[in-house]
A and B are shown apart, each in its own frame.
Chain A
Amino acid sequence: MSTPLLEVHDLVKHYPPRGFFSAGSAPVQAVNGVSFAIAEAETLGLVGESGCGKSTVGRAILRLEEPTAGDVRFVGESILEADNAALHRLRRQMQVVFQDPYSSLNPRMSVGRAIAEGMEIHRLARAGEIPARVAALMVEVGLDPESAGRYPHEFSGGQRQRIGIARALAVQPRLLVCDEPVSALDVSVQAQVVNLLADLQRDRRLAYLFIAHDLAVVRQLAHRIAVMYFGRIVELGPARTVIAAPKHPYTQALVSAVPSRVLERHADRIVLSGDPPGPTTVLPGCAFASRCFHPRRDQRCHAERPTLRVIDGHQVACHHAEES
């Protein structure tokens, strides 16, 4: 098998307790041993609820935050061991699209210049070619190239997200980390951006790490889906079967909680009791055990942490996944 585009191995990110009042308290274990790989032109959806660590995974991969431990490789080359020059080169190939494009755009820079910036930094085009390249990118993401001289505040939320995508594409990356790229958009506009991302993947053979809390949006783009809970992946498998036949009780609850338009489905909906554990909690067993509804859950779930095992083509971290 050829080398995957991105390999993440046992990624860990802990935050030391911060602030005057928390001296001596436990670290926040945001990510606790996450492993996955992404191939060229593939989308891995990373889903989970707030605080599960999914955004931290995205940031740690790009070294926007330094991981505590683990290994991240881009086409075999270690990102975590890279020196500044190597990191500069690797970052050109891995770009990021954030939830709120407005906060990542300089309000005093015209969108044309914002899109050109990366090409200039990475010396990807001669000065004379840049306006034509910017215009071509704007067309590709569905923006009017005539508006290159305008400023971010003159654009709607959906258009700003297109600007953010054009800016990322300007350096010809092979991987985009998309962190909740459509969740701040109005529903009628969300679909425009989802379709754009699908087209770009087809045309450019881009790979996506698509981080989102909305399973229905993720399913629209993902080939495979990884479900995170409390800093760990609890299930990873083909998108179709993770949604249609989830193995982990948490994935089952997550799929079941997505509002459905089919009226009958309300009756057999799984409504979990309780809340996720606090971020500094250290649990010897399964982090989901306190909310689990699996009929076979037992003392072992609280005492011993389940590791990922392969069941019917899914990786699942549950002692009782076969018995549901």
Chain B
Amino acid sequence: MTPLLEVTGLRIAFPGQHGPMYPVDGVTFSVRRGELLALVGESGSGKSLSCLAILGLVPTPGRIDPTSRILLGGTSLPDLNREAMRRVRGRRIGMIFQDPTTSLNPVFTIGRQLEEAVANHFPGPRAAIRARAVELLGEVGVPEPAGRLASYPHELSGGLRQRVMIALALSGEPDLLLADEPTSSLDVTVQAQILALLDRLRASRGMAVVLVTHDLGLVAGRADHVAVMYAGQVVERATAVRLFAAPAHPYTRGLFRSVPRLDAPVDRLAPIPGVVPTAARWPAGCRFHPRCPEALTQCQSESPALRHVGPDQSAACLLLDPPQAGG
């Protein structure tokens, strides 16, 4: 089965003081129908910008390098004109962001915003559009959906607002949902509700989801595949089961060791030394080498490519050997 979304060698250039900078620099991943791919990384790793590139929303003056490929069901998205891309957004790709308050219009009722979105994608008689809006709110778990249509965004809690955002994203019945930190402004008990909702929608609609997050814990037991990003690149890609059982890249292993967890005894944390680099000054060679406890001299100059290191697992590290034939 061919993937629904294929991103190959995505590179995004921004003008900098000393020539172009590449906050996203050669990112490759793909998602199949019904699958959940997690893009995991810290601030500045390029995970959110990669998502915006898929939507054709790279902020100016940034631009997608012409060698990059983004295919959605075989259609090359960067080649679409503005009008065609606008139709892809919402209708083929839905999106939800971290802070639902900034994405909802405060002066219109949620009913009006939802009905407008439905009518935009599927024009029809008013009564049918309203019925569809109520149905969508019910589907995302808003209690008494018909009564909620008259509410304004500020009258809803953060959790309910995020549900309304998801209903809006679903209004075009997209094949792919891009969710950028959809729960990080929510409390943990509400976070659990929203993630359970995304799981349910994926199962019932066969929708693919790209979940962008800094939180490895959210990914366990939920994602099918994980791509770990660092400094504008994917440094490790694996099935979630494999990644959690045997993380390969020194950065991934460092992340696991530095995050406190409730399901293990309290030990002193093992932080990754140093600071997260910025696109203006990516380190030469392997971009993780200044913080890597295992770095060799060659890591300072040689950029490792992603290569196969185990079953369903690839990593970009010079220290990792490909598995032996037959082993």
Residue of B188, B214, B215, B273 near A254 (CB, 8 A) is B188
In this assembly, does A191 line the interface, its C-beta being within 8 Å of a C-beta of chain B? yes
Contacts of B268 in A (CB 8 A): 195, 198
Q: Is the CB of B258 within 8 A of A260?
A: no
**Chain B residues with CB under 8 A of A217:** 260
0/1 string, A228-272, CB within 8 A of B gives 1: 000000000000000100000000011111111111111001111
- CA–CA, A233 to B222, complex, Å? 33
Chain A hits for B144, CB < 8 A:
none
> Which of B158, B192, B193, B254 has the most C-beta atoms of chain A within 10 angstroms of its own C-beta?
B192
B258–A190 CB distance below 8 A: yes
Is B127 engaged at the interface, CB distance under 8 Å to the other chain? no
Residue pair A187, B275 in contact (C-beta under 8 Å): no
Other-chain residue from A254, A264, A266 in contact with B189 (beta carbon distance below 8 A): A254
Known: A195-B268, A275-B160. A156 touches B275 (CB 8 A): yes
Contact of B159 with A188 in the complex, beta carbons under 8 Å: no
Instruction: Look across to chain B and name the residue whose beta carbon is closest to the beta carbon of A272.
Output: B189
CA distance A227 to B254 in the complex (A): 30
Closest Cβ of chain B to A69, distance in Å, is 27
- The reply to whether B192 and A257 form a contact with Cβ atoms under 8 Å apart is yes
Number of interface residues of A (CB under 8 A): 45
Measured CA separation A271–B266 after assembly (Å): 25
Docked-complex contact A187 and B191, CB < 8 angstroms: no
Q: A220-B260, A261-B244 are in contact. Are A188 and B254 (CB under 8 A)?
A: yes
| Interface residue? A299 (CB, 8 A) | no
CB pair A187–B188 under 8 Å, yes or no, is no
Residue of A nearest to B191 (CB): A257
| Interface status of B270 (Cβ within 8 A of chain A) | yes
B43 within 8 A of A: yes
A49 lies within 8 A of B187 (CB): yes
**Which residues of chain B are within 8 angstroms of A259 by Cβ–Cβ distance?**
215-218, 220
Distance between Cα atoms of A257 and B183 in the complex (Å): 12
Q: Considering the chains assembled together, what is the distance between the CA atoms of A264 and B263 in angstroms? A: 12
- Cβ-neighbour of A194 out of B192, B216, B269 (below 8 A): B269
Among residues of A, the one whose C-beta sits closest to the C-beta of B251 is A188
A192 CB within 8 Å of chain B: yes
Judged by a CB distance under 8 angstroms, whether B246 is at the interface is no
The answer to whether B260 touches A262 (Cβ under 8 A) is no
Q: Are A186 and B214 in contact (CB under 8 A)?
A: yes
Q: Is the beta-carbon distance between B254 and A243 smaller than 8 angstroms?
A: no
* CB pair A189 B275 closer than 8 Å: yes
Q: Which residue of chain B has the shortest Cβ distance to A240 in the bound complex?
A: B266
Q: Which residue of A lies closest to B272 (CB)?
A: A188
Whether the pair B266, A213 counts as a contact (CB closer than 8 A) is no
Asked, given contacts A188-B255, A188-B276, A275-B157, whether A255 binds B262 with beta carbons under 8 Å apart, the answer is yes
- Chain B residues lying within 8 Å of A86, measured Cβ to Cβ, are none
Q: Do the beta carbons of B192 and A187 come within 8 Å of each other?
A: no
Are B193's CB and A271's CB within 8 A?
yes
Could you mark each residue 195-223 of chain B with 1 if its beta carbon is under 8 Å from any beta carbon of chain A, else 0? 01000000000000000001111101110
- Given the complex of chains A and B, what is the CA–CA distance between A189 and B42 in angstroms? 10
A266 touches B188 (CB 8 A): no
Interface residues of A in 193-220 (CB under 8 A from B): 194-195, 198, 213, 215-217, 219-220
Within 8 A of A (CB), among B305-323: none
Q: Is A2 an interface residue (CB 8 A)?
A: no
Docked Cα-Cα span, A50 to B191, in Å, equals 12
Q: Are the CB atoms of A215 and B275 closer together than 8 Å?
A: no
Whole-angstrom distance between the Cβ of A46 and the nearest chain B Cβ: 15
Contact, CB under 8 Å: A188 / B42? yes
Complex CA distance for A269 and B195, rounded to whole angstroms = 12
Are the CB atoms of A191 and B260 closer together than 8 Å? Answer: yes
Q: Which residues of B contact A255 (CB under 8 A)?
A: 262
B192 touches A216 (CB 8 A): no
A269 — nearest CB in chain B belongs to which residue?
Answer: B192
A275 to B162, CA, bound (A): 12
Instruction: Check A84 for interface membership: any CB of B closer than 8 A.
Output: no
**22 cross-chain CB contacts under 8 A:** A50-B187, A158-B275, A159-B275, A186-B42, A186-B43, A186-B214, A187-B42, A187-B214, A188-B271, A189-B272, A216-B262, A243-B262, A254-B188, A257-B189, A257-B191, A258-B217, A259-B218, A260-B263, A261-B244, A261-B263, A262-B220, A272-B189
Query: Which 6 A-B residue pairings sit nearest by Cβ, starting from the closest?
Result: A259-B217, A191-B271, A49-B187, A191-B269, A188-B272, A191-B258
On A, residues with C-beta under 8 Å from B are 49-50, 156, 158-159, 186-192, 194-195, 198, 213, 215-217, 219-220, 243, 253-266, 269-276, 291
Given contacts A49-B190, A276-B187, 4 further A-B contacts (CB under 8 A): A49-B188, A187-B255, A190-B271, A219-B260
